[in-house]
Structure 1
Amino acid sequence: MKTISTLLFAVCFAHVSYSQGAQVNIQQDDKIDKLLEIYKSALSSTEYYQIQVGFGNSSKAQEIKSNVEIDFPELPSRIDFDSPTYRVRLGKFKTKLEAERKFNEVRIKYPDAMLLKPKKSTK
């Protein structure tokens, strides 16, 4: 019994003596916050071209978006609601040349696709 008590005391003492208590204190330069604000404002004023591949009601738009994600997984796609229809749009192209090249590829699979003029980013 004395051996068990001694062993239990030793285990508890070893656990307490090896436990570590630490506190992390992160110091960040105020300039980083300013840079992030500049970056966000630059992104919000960026104009880009998009390709509209289809539109319709909500379920049709979801179906088109699913197909587009399979056919063009490298391009971001999204559904925009523009009353009364849902529009499926693809990509964010900085230059007209870049947009036209991809537009030619997309039109093979989606002949009704339209190249949209630059639009200010909302995200």
Structure 2
Amino acid sequence: MKRKTYYNHIKMKSLITIVIITLSITLGQAQQGKISIEQDDRIEDLLDIYKSSNENHEYYRIQVGFGSYAQAQRIKENVEIDFPDLFSKIDFDSPTYRVRLGRFKTKLQAERKFNEVRVKYPDAMLLKPKKST
């Protein structure tokens, strides 16, 4: 009987030792941190300038397709593969989603790329900038 008690005592000590080691490893590796990002206040000013310049400037664009949102996503994925150098965007123009490419400042640039795009997307349309009021 003494022997059994001795083995139980050793097992209990081993178990307590394992639990203590496990807890110390777990708690020792757990890290709590706080991240703070400091940025120059002028970055916000630059972003505002960038946004306003893009809003005020109209571009020629190429529309390659339209439909439901799922259809527009598929078209956009294909266009990004076919023309990775062109900016592409899905615009909602009620009642459909339209996939439009590019931001061309001049009509000549837009027409050159439009001819290239039409080979792959025959239904593509060249969109003129809206007149500013």
TM range (shorter): 0.5 to 0.7
1:96 is matched with 107
Measured on the aligned residues, the alpha-carbon RMSD in Å equals 2.4
Q: Bigger radius of gyration, 1 or 2?
A: 2
Alpha-carbon distance change, 109 to 42 in structure 1, aligned in 2, over 3 angstroms: same
With the length of structure 2 as denominator, give the TM-score of the two structures.
Answer: 0.61
Alpha-carbon distance change, 39 to 85 in structure 1, aligned in 2, over 3 angstroms: closer
| Matching residue's letter, 1:83 | S
1:63 is matched with 74
Number of aligned positions between the proteins: 93
| Structure with the higher strand share, 1 or 2 | 1
| Matching residue's letter, 1:44 | E
2:94 is matched with 83
Distance 2:70 2:108 in 1: 32
| Matching residue's letter, 1:48 | Y
1:117 is matched with 128
2:65 aligns to what SS in structure 1?
Answer: strand
TM superposition shift of 1:47: 1.2
TM superposition shift of 1:41: 2.9
**Structure 1: gaps of 5 or more residues:** 1-24
* Percent of paired sites with the same residue: 72
Alpha-carbon distance change, 38 to 78 in structure 1, aligned in 2, over 3 angstroms: closer
TM superposition shift of 1:80: 0.6
Alpha-carbon distance change, 81 to 35 in structure 1, aligned in 2, over 3 angstroms: closer
Distance 2:118 2:44 in 1: 43
| Structure with the higher helix share, 1 or 2 | 2
